[in-house]
Amino acid sequence: MKGDVKATTPEATASSEAVRREFSPGLAGVPAARSSISFVNGETGLLEYRGIRIEELAEHSSFLETTYLLLYDRLPDQTELDRFTSDVTQHRRIKYRITDLIKCLPEQGHPMDALQAAVAALGMFYPARHVLDPQVQYWSAVRLIAKMPTIVAAYHRLRRGDEQVQPRDDLDHAGNFLYMLTETVPDPLIAKMLDTCLILHAEHTMNASTFSGMVTASTLADPYTVVSSAIGTLKGPLHGGAAQETVDMLEEIGSVDHVRPYIMQRLAAKQKLMGFGHRIYKVKDPRAIILQKLAQRLLAESWRSPLYKLAEEVERVGEELLAGKGIHANVDFYSGVLYKTMGLDEDFFTCVFAMARVSGWLAHWLEQIKDNKLFRPDQIYDGPHGRGYVPIERRPGGRG
Ligand SMILES: CC(C)(COP(=O)(O)OP(=O)(O)OC[C@H]1O[C@@H](n2cnc3c(N)ncnc32)[C@H](O)[C@@H]1OP(=O)(O)O)[C@@H](O)C(=O)NCCC(=O)NCCS
């Protein structure tokens, strides 16, 4: 009980509290919720969404079907999928005032900040305070999934001084996003590849951005606020920023002959190889295996991309040197190379991650509010007690 704490020094207070409660920095290993949305086994490289292996979804599903599965805990029948797809397609446009807001943002700003600001602003246009109302839940999810790609593509173009490209209803989710970026209908294989990247990034258990969204959800804030909190958390370099850093690293290496000396030097300097390693996976990330196969098909065989050739060599040498420590390429190793080849600016890679992960965030939002308990963790106080108030003239440096 807090009232029993009599210690007056930080050390004494901390040690007496620590005896009673175990402290886990970063909540590592502390379950913060029960969830039936996804499951990961880092020892065997297993990732399932609602019990279905990611490999099966990547091969047979689409991003919108996978989103439906995450949100409603079952695969839709054809009528349900057609309706969901049509609802998302019809809500892609953003209000001109959201476009104006994006135009007002500085072009050198980070795209994740633009996305976060625009998503928070959406909540002002579509009030969603009654979060337990199924209609509010459905239409908020539809709007967020539909409009985030439009916001990302608009900022990508507007900051270069190009006109925004309006969405096209005859294109699918990924194809339309690429069209809004480039004003060109993409090759179906490239659109399919992006759609698969979105499936692979849609959900990953209790990660930092999901937790952040859930904390906000637990206050019963509206879903636009929930998603904008999660976007802010995803932006950090320890979470969503690795794909961009991987491409920066590949560009720094420059050519295949520099790979080995570069990696040796980097590891000798105790620097990490970007796009390698994972807190959970101790074998190769199953998403990286799928992406590598896709990249192999598109970038090596069709496009003969020099960046991909370089990435392959980095992975080969990285595996040779790090696999013994359980460190392998992760999902971000190849996704950055793919996005770069699709024409996306590097600082937009995390926005594509957010366009995918919004499905997982919304699934956790729905799960959280169904049986809500406000998140209010505790702390171990390690400051002093019983300090007196000293008038300013009697403090050291005071002018009394
Ligand atoms: C993802 C990551 C943060 C997980 O790390 P973690 O589980 O907290 O493990 P640590 O950072 O404590 O590293 C443990 C050991 O592995 C090494 N290691 C981890 N990732 C490494 C990497 N990418 N390259 C080289 N060494 C790595 C560390 O240097 C450390 O070695 P040591 O015990 O000899 O000091 C880490 O692997 C990383 O920073 N990777 C690069 C960034 C990245 O790709 N992030 C995207 C993740 S999806």
Tens of pLDDT along the chain (400 residues) come to: 333 444 455 555 555 555 557 899 999 889 999 999 999 999 999 999 999 999 999 999 999 999 999 999 999 999 999 999 999 999 999 999 999 999 999 999 999 999 999 999 999 999 899 999 999 999 999 999 999 999 999 999 999 999 999 999 999 999 999 999 999 999 998 999 999 999 999 999 999 999 999 999 999 999 999 999 999 999 987 888 888 899 999 999 999 999 999 999 999 999 999 999 988 898 889 999 999 888 888 777 667 788 888 999 999 999 999 999 999 999 889 899 889 888 888 999 999 999 999 999 999 999 999 999 999 999 999 999 999 999 999 999 866 5
Our answer to whether residue 332 is catalytic in this structure is yes
Region 35-374: CATH code: 1.10.580.10
Angle between helices 63-72 and 349-370 (to 10 degrees): 20
Give dist(CA 273, CA 177) in Å, integer: 30
Nearest to 2 by CA among 385, 376, 388, 375: 385
Nearest to 36 by CA among 25, 48, 26: 48
- Those residues whose C-beta lies under 8 Å from the C-beta of residue 5, and which sit 6 or more positions away, are 13, 16, 17, 381, 385
Locate the ligand 1 atom nearest the alpha carbon of residue 331 and give its number: 48
Residues with CB under 6 A from ligand 1: 242, 272-279, 322, 325, 327, 330-332
Choice among 201, 278, 328, 364 that is catalytic: 278
Distance 277 CA to ligand 1 centre (A): 5
Closest residue to atom 45 of ligand 1, CA basis: 242
Closest residue to atom 38 of ligand 1, CA basis: 277
Q: Which of 276, 332, 353 to mutate to test the pocket of ligand 1 (most atoms within 8 A of CB)?
A: 276
Our answer to whether residue 91 is catalytic in this structure is no
Q: What residue ranges do the domains of the chain occupy?
A: 35-374
